[in-house]
Amino acid sequence: MGNGSSAIPRGSRIDGAVRIYMPKTRLIARLDIKGPNLIKGIHLEGLRVMGDPQVYAQKYYAEGVDEIIYIDSVASLYGRNSLHDIISRAVRKVFIPITVGGGIRSVQDAAEMLRAGADKVAINTAAVHRPELITEIARRFGSQCVTLSIQAKANGRGGWEVYTENGREHSGLDVVEWAKRTQDLGAGEILLTSVDREGTQKGFDLDLLRAVGGVLNIPLVASGGMGTLQHMEEAIVATKTDAVAIASVLHYGKHSLSDIRAYALARGLNVREL
């Protein structure tokens, strides 16, 4: 699948003479937010204020992005979530799925974000502290509303540890085991961020994606490290990721979504054609 060969049609595998289709690999824009601003940093530490998130969201939507993820990067630290207004504005102009995360601690917090217009809520810290939260939100709103966000840092022993508080605090949990467990608890999707690669533009952590992808039967979103178009291709071809979340490349204007999508299509990847 997706090996770039023209012999196997994009998005399908051949079973006898029948083409078998899978949903498109999603190209997602990840917007990290601090207060009212889009920010960008390295290793999940916000350093640079980029500007009004609505301007970026509308730009990416106009360029054909498949989905947008907003993460409030300091909410769990200060116990606040300033995304409500940002989402309410977005939903008036941006007609694609929107995921919101950062400081969501309770079913009530999730309800507020969904009411404000989010399609999915991403949870991390609160789920690590109280895994039952995953099931509670899934039961109330459906698993398809629950994205489990995992911030993974290499543990020096060939594996990865789960970090919370937007990559600031370690938890002692093994990423692969935790991913599997959250799936069993009702998570609908995993947003997997490599803290080591995030912001570096040195490529996704393919071993991490393969290790987690291997235990999941829910969608996996790769986040952290994309710097070139080839990085995206690698992640899609070499792992079972269902989506790539892109930040630096987009926010710094290194490549437009049109270029990214055109490249993916030219390489035979199963992405949406506009």
Which positions lie near other proteins, rule CB under 8 A? 15, 18-24, 26, 61, 64, 66, 91-93, 95-97, 114-117, 119, 141-145, 188-189, 216-219, 242-243, 272-273
Minimum distance, C-beta of residue 267 to other proteins, in the bound complex (Å): 18
Q: Taking the complex as a whole, how short is the minimal distance between the CB of residue 189 and other proteins, in angstroms?
A: 7
Shortest reach from residue 232's CB to other proteins, in Å: 16
CB of 246 to other proteins, least distance (A): 16
Of the candidates 57, 58, 89, 53, the residue with the CA atom closest to the CA atom of residue 72 = 53
For other proteins, the closer of residues 115 and 130 by Cβ is: 115
Q: How many angstroms separate the CA atoms of 179 and 60, rounded?
A: 29
Nearest Cα to 87, choosing from 61, 60, 119?
Answer: 119
Question: CA 167 to CA 84: how far, in whole Å?
Answer: 23
Rounded (5°) CA angle 116-119-120:
110
- Would you say 33 or 116 has its CB closer to other proteins? 116
In terms of CB distance, is 56 or 169 closer to other proteins?
A: 56
Least gap, CB of 129 to other proteins (angstroms): 27
Q: Which residues contact 192 (CB under 8 A, 6 or more apart)?
A: 150, 152, 175, 179, 208, 209, 212, 220, 221, 222, 223, 224
Cα separation, 97 vs 159, in Å, equals: 32
Q: CA-to-CA distance for 247 and 89, rounded, in angstroms? A: 20
The CA-based angle 39-91-269, given to 5 degrees, is 70
The SS3 assignment for 187 reads coil
Q: Give whichever of 74 and 100 is closer to other proteins, judged by the CB atom.
A: 100
Cβ proximity to other proteins, 50 vs 237, nearer residue: 237
In the bound state with other proteins, the residue whose beta carbon lies nearer, of 41 and 117, is 117
* 20 versus 266: smaller Cβ distance to other proteins: 20
How far apart are CB 182 and other proteins at their closest, in Å?
15
DSSP line for 201-264: -S---HHHHHHHHTT-SS-EEEES---SHHHHHHHHHHS--SEEEE-HHHHTTSS-HHHHHHHH
